[in-house]
Amino acid sequence: MNEFDRAGARSDSASPINRLIEAFHRLPGIGPKSAQRLAYHVLRAPEEEAKDLADALTEVKQSVVLCERCQNLTDTNPCRICLDTGRDRTMVCVVEEPLDVQAIERTGGYRGLYHVLHGVISPSDGVGPEELKIAELLTRIRDVDTDVSEVIVATNPNLEGEATSMYLGRLLQPLGLKVTRLARGLPAGADLEYADDVTLGRALEYRQQV
Residue 203 is predicted with a pLDDT of 81
Rounded Cα distance, 150 and 115, in Å? 13
Helix H segments across the chain? 3-13, 16-25, 32-44, 47-63, 80-83, 98-107, 134-139, 159-172, 197-205
pLDDT of the residue at 10: 45
DSSP-assigned letter for residue 194:
G
3-state secondary structure of 115: strand
- If one looks up domain 73-209 in CATH, what number appears? 3.40.1360.10
| 134-186 residue pLDDT tens | 999 999 999 888 899 999 999 998 899 999 999 999 999 999 999 999 877 66
Classify domain 3-63 at the CATH topology level: Helicase, Ruva Protein; domain 3 (1.10.8)
pLDDT in tens, 98-120: 999 999 999 999 999 999 999 99
* Domain residue ranges of the chain, discontinuous segments joined by +: 3-63, 73-209
* pLDDT higher than 70, residue 2: no
d(CA 129, CA 120): 8
Residue at 143: amino acid letter: D
Instruction: Compute the half-sphere exposure of residue 188: CA atoms within 13 Å on the CB side of its CA.
Output: 2
Q: Indicate the pLDDT class of residue 201, thresholds 50, 70 and 90.
A: confident
Greater confidence (31 vs 209) lies with 31
pLDDT at residue 3 in the model: 42
pLDDT at 149: 95
Contact yes or no for 147/91 (Cβ under 8 A): no
CA–CA distance from 207 to each of 43, 78, 126, 133, 180 (Å)? 49, 28, 30, 23, 6
Average confidence score pLDDT of the chain: 89
